Amino acid sequence: MTDVAREPGTREPGGLAYVALLATTTIGTLSGNVINAPLHRIRTEFGASDSQAVLAVASFTIAMVIFVPFTGWLCDRFGTVRILGLGLATMVLAQIVAAFSMNLEMLVAMRVLQGIACSTFPPGVQRALVQLFPSKGAAAMAAWASAIGVGQAVGPPVGGLISDLVGWRGVFVFQAALCTVVALVVLLRVPQVPGTRAPINGLGMTVLMLAMGSLSLAVTLVGQRADWRVELTVGVLASVLLATYVFLAARHPERLLEPRSLLERRYVRATMSAGSTMLIMGVCLVSMPLYLGETLHLSPGPVGFVMFAMALAMALSGRLIARLGDRYSLRVVIELGLVVLVAAPLVLGWWTGREVSADPGTGEVVTRVVGIIVILVVIGCALNAAQSTAAYSISRSKAAKNSMAFGIHNTSRFMGMATGYAWAALVYPLDNALLLYGGVSMVGFAALMTVVIGGPLRQGQ
């Protein structure tokens, strides 16, 4: 199952189609994080614990983890634009219903549906950019990575501002309207890309989805402090399903994926780096709003603008990262980014772990917030360095030319974020910031070692 190349001599679509595809990526990121700023208010309204409130965010990502491999195949089989249109339409419906949530369970269910809809965006947009705009090459992937940063930048302040003005339910109404506009532009201006006869082993795909779902559930249950016997049962089930998928893939490599192809060095490094950055991002996106709301007593609006610092740094540091890559090498850029992601979270843990007065005054709050913003800016730049370099590297890997391998890469990315949410849900209530962010730092160190120990890549690796 390979990418469909655009026929030579075919004219590329106009700029509006290119912007619409990138906007779809931004919309997807926005949908995932737009409720982070009012998370404390949602928790209060539904009388939920901190760990339960994190489910409103994590359920979106878990659904993406499960469905991304399948939606990647759907894009190949039925055409990227058709599947993107279906995903956007489903997103609109799920956003509208979420605005009328009567309890946390209903909200979580709608977030799951939103995550399923959003799972069409990464494979759909990335493949459409490659198929429709071949002349842009790596620049298209860099633009895609920047679009993620824009979504991360806009989501928290928009969610916070709307929540302060009309309540957190208005966030979903705004998102529904935005998705409707983007869907219309995509369907009207982006040319259809015909599907291909993409063979697949239905049993293998089902097993893979169940395995990813079980693995995500196991991680989430740990964060929710579920009964250890339930956690063990789900963990064993996930292991059995993964082993079953590997067996089926080895027997049917033409319809699934030759497992050994995932050991390509470029693929392993890119996937490890991407998953690690998403985990680090996930921890920051849910723990910082809770800290700012509960400890510093900030309302959703200011919380959103504080979180805006990290995401804005991600969005605006792209040109600097590109220049560093041109002047030195992509290897230097990703190593530098990962080094920062080892050190900066430790500083954030020390800074937020310092004792705060029971009723902090304005000066104390401002000092604390300024320090947080500076640290988040540094983390945002490092996230962009690691994530954008990984995105470009995966586009050059041989393994990711296969739909299943590409889907597994994206699944690993979102699995990283789901694990970050679970870690935050597990550790944040312990009120130990150094433990919370120290764990994040260790993940960054593991990714750094994956890059460093492997040595430089030779041509074709």
Q: At what angle do helices 169-189 and 15-33 cross, to 10 degrees?
A: 160
CATH topology of domain 15-200+256-453: Growth Hormone; Chain: A; (1.20.1250)
- How is the chain split into domains, by residue range? 15-200+256-453
Residue type (1 letter), 53: A
- Write down the residue that tokens 């050991």 correspond to: 263
- Write down the residue that tokens 């843990």 correspond to: 349
Rounded Cα distance, 402 and 261, in Å? 10
Whole-prediction pTM? 0.76
Each residue's pLDDT, cut to its tens digit, for the chain (461 residues) gives: 333 444 444 567 777 888 889 899 989 888 887 887 788 788 888 888 776 777 787 788 888 888 888 888 888 788 888 899 999 999 999 999 999 999 989 999 999 999 999 999 988 887 788 778 877 766 676 677 778 777 876 777 788 888 888 888 999 999 999 999 999 998 888 887 776 776 777 788 888 888 888 888 888 778 777 778 888 898 899 999 989 988 888 888 777 777 788 888 888 888 899 899 989 988 988 888 889 888 888 887 788 788 888 877 877 777 787 778 778 877 888 889 999 999 999 999 999 998 877 777 788 889 999 999 999 999 988 988 888 778 777 777 887 666 677 778 878 888 888 888 889 888 998 889 999 999 999 999 999 998 888 655 444 44
Report the candidate in 49, 40, 54 with the shortest Cα–Cα distance to residue 297: 40
Rounded Cα distance, 444 and 283, in Å? 13
SS3 288: helix
